[in-house]
Structure 1
Amino acid sequence: MKIPDCKKLETFSYFDAENEKKTRYVLALTFVTMVLEIGAGSIYGSMALLADGWHMGIHAAAFCITLFTYRYARKHKNSGEYSYGTGKVGVLGGYTSALILGIVALGMALESVDRFVNPVAIEFNEAITVAVIGLIVNALSMVLLQDHSHHHHGHEHHEHHEHDEHNNHQPHQHGHHDHNLKAAYIHVLTDALTSVLAIGALIMGKYVGWIWLDPMMGVIGSIVISKWAWGLMKQTAPVLLDKAIDPQYEMKLVAKLEAEEVTIQDMHIWKVSADHFCATLTLHDAQARTPAYFKQCLQEFDTIEHLVIEVNPN
């Protein structure tokens, strides 16, 4: 039996060549700095610097996941293997990176607490120099990813976008949410934060004698990173779990159908990517009107980009 040649849902595919290129550059910078900081942190005895180096190392692994995600999405973009395209591939990459961030935060916290109990001597001048180099690399990486940096700082923007999307029924004007690249950006941002904390701790330790500040900055950094990781997981998990659409949006759709004097026998509306929804409706209509008629009635609900309607006259 020949499968019909159906229209591809290309809007749900997930691939961005420019973002993949940026991530590749950031991976190279991160790897070089990782080697430098781990070596210098071990030699000069700085927990903050060593934590920054290992932090970068785990982020390098996360960037490899990001690159794999882009390439996988590109390879399967038009393969037809996925019913609704590869829209969730990038979301899965972002969720995985969030888990890695959580592991990084836990490791930093445990190691920092150990340094409170078992302090070590620190060679401040050398450690500060390497930490500054790491911060410069982080800044360069953030510049490479700056086109999408607003995704991290704009959690309120994300919620506002969802509000507009659900209540004003406007089509998407700002492109898709690249959770994969957002995860990469957060990894770079956490590296920058750790570098800043390390530099501050080392300077205070050198000139004021507050050696305890070095592991303290590790604890503070782990708390901040945990918060960012949790926020990213909260944004990606609902997509992976086929979260339903906003209840108010659904109620307006139901009201529209009930105004047509039909009975809704079954309805499912769920996310198939970071920005796209699909819906299946089973209606009872005594007038035996066609599915095309009801699709026309629901045309204003353009947040739902793939709508399947079954009409039962009995």
Structure 2
Amino acid sequence: MHTDPQLLEQYGHDHGFGQDRRRAGERRTVVALGLTAAFMLVEIAAGLAYGSMALLADGLHMASHAAALAIAVLAYVYARRYAHDRRFTFGTGKIGSLAGFASAVLLVAFAIVMAFESIHRFVVPVAIVFDQAILVAVAGLLVNAVSAIILGTSESPDHDDADDHHDHNLRAAYLHVLADAVTSVLAIVALAAGKFYGLAWMDPLMGVVGALLISRWAWQLIGQTGRVLTDREAPAVVRDHVRAAIEGDADNRIADLHVWSIGPNAYSGIISVVTHDPRPPEHYKSLIPDHLHLVHLTVEVRRCSVRVR
């Protein structure tokens, strides 16, 4: 038996699983981060220069979303840089899900603060400078709308980058920008109602509505990323395709099947096959369609000793 590591390499396989390439989502997130950070600095500078608390507060608010976008960018860079590091047994694909989970938790915290502040303003109303506040909200909406369009490109089902549909890191960045855009829209509606119709209570009400919407989106993302981080089963459609591919050949039956996500559009699996006519594991691997993206598959083959007449 050869023990030369170089000779053994031909029997191994790459553990990068595509994480070593720059994703389209990374480029879009960098652009969105640049826009958000630039507008944040302009608002903070203007707030300090003109003594406007509204501008300063909104600038600091955008800083939290800029931080979330920065986390997303760092996650992309880290996953790519350490894609071939053997310390990551199944690659760095889950780094994006971890970053997405952290961002979703930040969104929940933001929604809670937003809800408490809104409720407080129901009890203790605050005087609003409507013209200035509307101007800030409109400017913020424009920036966030552009960023949402950039990040949301992959949300279309016709988008070419299929792996973006499972990119929780990109999804988290998109939700942060979308949450900011939604709060801007709600703020504009509330401020307009207060300015033209005297409905000052609309401002805190829209704050509560926004907090509920953001909480719902964040909770969904926590569920999606949590399933990946805890190695929950892959979607039923993936498992059903694997079972159909194996059992559709000869008299094979799957006795045990484990398939789980290891990154955007990538799965690992362990399959136990029982058959009267055992064949090499590579044969069963070749039966599984490439579009299922099972990049790290272990197949155990057992001979069935029972003959049914």
Structure 2: give runs of 5+ residues left out of the alignment.
Answer: none
Q: Show CA shifts across 1:200-245 (max 9, x none).
A: 2111111111111111111011011111112222222211121213
Contact 2:242 2:288 in 1 (8 A): no
Q: 1:40 to 1:2 in 2, by over 3 A?
A: farther
Q: 1:124 to 1:249 in 2, by over 3 A?
A: closer
2:263 is paired with a residue whose SS is: coil
Match of 2:174 in 1: 185
- The number of aligned residues is 293
Q: TM-score, normalised by structure 1?
A: 0.79
1:310 is paired with a residue whose SS is: strand
Q: Residue 306 in 1 paired to residue 303 in 2?
A: no
Q: Aligned equivalents of 2:195 and 2:220: distance in 1?
A: 35
Amino acid in the other structure paired with 1:307: L
1:307 is paired with a residue whose SS is: strand
Q: Show CA shifts across 1:271-300 (max 9, x none).
A: 11232221112345554432223334x334
Match of 2:78 in 1: 72
Pick from 202, 206, 209: which aligns with 1:220? 209
Q: What pairs with 1:192-271 in structure 2 (closer than 5 Å)? A: 192-247=181-236, 250=239, 253-254=242-243, 256-257=246-247, 260-261=250-251, 264=254, 266-271=256-261
Give how far 1:52 is off.
5.2
Match of 2:110 in 1: 104
Q: Aligned equivalents of 1:144 and 1:77: distance in 2?
A: 26
Match of 2:138 in 1: 132
Amino acid in the other structure paired with 1:75: R
Contact 1:280 1:307 in 2 (8 A): yes
Contact 1:55 1:104 in 2 (8 A): no
Give how far 1:15 is off.
4.9
Give how far 1:118 is off.
0.7
Q: 1:14 to 1:93 in 2, by over 3 A?
A: farther
Give how far 1:24 is off.
2.8
Q: 1:302 to 1:198 in 2, by over 3 A?
A: closer
Match of 2:266 in 1: 276
Structure 1: give runs of 5+ residues left out of the alignment.
Answer: 151-156, 159-171
Q: What pairs with 1:109-124 in structure 2 (closer than 5 Å)? A: 109-124=115-130
Q: 1:39 to 1:213 in 2, by over 3 A?
A: farther
Q: Aligned equivalents of 1:189 and 1:82: distance in 2?
A: 32
Match of 1:28 in 2: 34
Q: TM-score, normalised by structure 2?
A: 0.80
Pick from 55, 63, 73: which aligns with 2:69? 63
Give how far 1:102 is off.
0.9
Contact 2:194 2:203 in 1 (8 A): yes
Q: Residue 175 in 1 paired to residue 181 in 2?
A: no
Q: Aligned equivalents of 2:45 and 2:184: distance in 1?
A: 13
Amino acid in the other structure paired with 1:197: L
Give how far 1:80 is off.
2.9
Give how far 1:192 is off.
0.9
Contact 1:280 1:309 in 2 (8 A): yes
Q: Aligned equivalents of 1:206 and 1:87: distance in 2?
A: 49
Q: Aligned equivalents of 1:225 and 1:148: distance in 2?
A: 20
Q: Which moved more, 1:37-46 or 1:66-75?
A: 37-46
What is the aligned-residue RMSD (CA, Å)? 3.3
Q: Which has the higher contact order (CA 8 A, sep 6+)?
A: 1
Percent of aligned pairs with the same residue?
A: 38
Q: Aligned equivalents of 1:54 and 1:26: distance in 2?
A: 17
Pick from 277, 281, 284: which aligns with 1:294? 284
Give how far 1:246 is off.
3.8
1:271 is paired with a residue whose SS is: strand
Q: Aligned equivalents of 2:135 and 2:20: distance in 1?
A: 40
2:199 is paired with a residue whose SS is: coil
Q: Aligned equivalents of 2:20 and 2:62: distance in 1?
A: 26
